[in-house]
Structure 1
Amino acid sequence: MLDEDRVFVTYHSASVFSGDDLFEEDYDLEQAWTGQSNGLCGAAVEGLLLLNVGQHTGWVPFRVELHAGEPSVDDRWEDIVDVSFRPTRDSVHLAGLDGEAYPLVLPRQDYRVRYLACGLDEAQAEDGRDAYLMQLWPAPPAADRIVRQTSEQAAYWHRSHRPPTPQEEAEENRQ
């Protein structure tokens, strides 16, 4: 798949998309987060994953692995979410908004995707401190889930892409 390459990201984002160009399909990017609890990997639009990263603009280490079954959770990663994904075309790519697209060899089937990140908070202060891993394995669709959240940046993204919980609303009203 993609082994220890660097992906050029802009606007804190990258994507995995079906097809050869993110903009050849009429993806509704705003809908990518609909109904999800996590804010790191938007997977609500079929054939598309929107990925939030810590660095605003620049090259970030990014690895993609295909597994036969669910991999164990690696404790070295600070923030982890799981989502479901199904490619809608034979061609699938990973890219930043303005960068080169890297082909991924993914047969058309249902996958579970584990998106792992480290250095999200440090990337806000210094360039080049964040890194990412995406693990995919065949699995039926399931609800997204936050496996681990340790960074303030991940907490921000989780809050910003979903309606506030009653506790968060009460906290906001007290301020």
Structure 2
Amino acid sequence: MTDTRTVSFDLHVHYSQAYLVDDTDDAMGPDGIPDDHPAHPVGIIRVDDGGAFLITGLHTGTVGFSVTVADHDPGADTDGYEDIVEISFESEAGQVSLYEWGGGGVHELPVLPAGPGWYRLRYHAQNMDEAREVDTSNEIIDRYLLQIWPQDESTPRVVKSASGQLAYWRRPR
């Protein structure tokens, strides 16, 4: 029997940022934009000590956001999204939450199925370029899907790349 749970919500962003934070007592989330993987850059999601930094196309406003937590790889939605990237993430608590920029809101997520340990994050994005052009909106232009499942640490990878925003964020800085 497989266990898959999905939650969806409007996510309010500022500076094109949101944060996945491990629910340990000392987890604060990324402090600034973490460096991308030097050999395998994925651009729009970066991990650092108990947190993941997620980048959106919209600078300020509301984006559509869904998170699927599963006990197995749920499969990438290659038909529904323009950009899809993956990266490994280690959870000390076995529970994570999604934070809006500046502590504006916290979205509790389903408990991670394997408890503490390594997980794979697959971040899907749609309409990042259109949202970047608009810059600020409370109407949903771009939308995102973050999938999380247990998997040993592995190399980050780009599954699908179509937007200028993903190309921009993958450039060396």
- TM interval, short-chain normalised: 0.7 to 0.9
* Higher CA-based Rg: 1
Residue 11 (structure 1) aligns with: 15
Distance 1:40 1:9 in 2: 14
Residue 127 (structure 2) aligns with: 119
Gaps of 5+ in 2: none
Q: Is the 8 A contact 2:12 2:63 kept in 1?
A: yes
SS of structure 2 residue aligned to 1:55: coil
1:1-175 aligned within 5 A: 3-19=7-23, 25=28, 27-35=30-38, 36-43=40-47, 45-74=48-77, 75-98=79-102, 99-104=104-109, 105-106=111-112, 107-126=115-134, 127=137, 128-159=140-171, 162=172
Name the aligned partner's letter for residue 40 of structure 1: I
Q: Is the 8 A contact 1:5 1:63 kept in 2?
A: yes
Displacement of 1:46 in angstroms is 2.7
Kindly report structure 1 stretches of 4+ aligned residues shifted beyond 4 Å: none
Distance 1:20 1:89 in 2: 5
Query: Structure 1, residues 33-72: CA drift from partner, whole Å, max 9, x if none?
Result: 25351111002x1311000101101111111001222122
SS of structure 2 residue aligned to 1:72: coil
Q: Is the 8 A contact 2:27 2:51 kept in 1?
A: no
Q: Is the 8 A contact 1:32 1:50 kept in 2?
A: no
Q: Is the 8 A contact 2:24 2:93 kept in 1?
A: no
Relative to 1, partners in 2 of residues 1:89 and 1:148: Cα closer, same or farther, differing over 3 Å?
same
State how many pairs are aligned.
Answer: 159
Q: Which has the higher strand share?
A: 2
Displacement of 1:11 in angstroms is 0.2
Q: Is the 8 A contact 1:18 1:90 kept in 2?
A: yes
Identity among equivalent pairs (%): 33
Gaps of 5+ in 1: 164-175
Relative to 1, partners in 2 of residues 1:122 and 1:140: Cα closer, same or farther, differing over 3 Å?
same
